[in-house]
Structure 1
């Protein structure tokens, strides 16, 4: 995940990662990293040529946008389970 962030957007996350997981369902790979700051990053990577590939960012409720992600616009969405969610994403353009 950190390689994709660096290669695609030149991003280096300053916060310390606390937990990471990855799994595959059929032809889609998913990875999640949760950071000490409250940031969560996920990658969805379809293995098929021309498939969907994206990186998503989620901020904990009340968390300021980290400086390294200040160029992204974060949308707010209400969730019955999670309260207010703020998130953003970008599409992965290269093969990784």
Structure 2
């Protein structure tokens, strides 16, 4: 439905991204054109987005589902592929600061 509102042809690799995260809200003011990669970057998991977003560049949240642990991650990752370097820190304010130093 979002593609129709934005006028994106169905054969294009572009998608309609819902700014407020509600895919039932198809108002044009809530839609933007994005690639699948761009949409995946902005997707959220079970934690509130404000809790897993760092104010530091290069620092992101990581969740180990097997052990249900949360970490701050400092990593260097090419645009496509696995991280070249990845260092994990405790999911605390101090851990966030330490990961930003790496």
What TM-score does the superposition give when structure 1 sets the normalisation length? 0.29
User: Which protein is richer in helix relative to its size?
Assistant: 2
User: Which protein is richer in strand relative to its size?
Assistant: 1
What TM-score does the superposition give when structure 2 sets the normalisation length? 0.28
Largest Rg, 1 or 2: 2
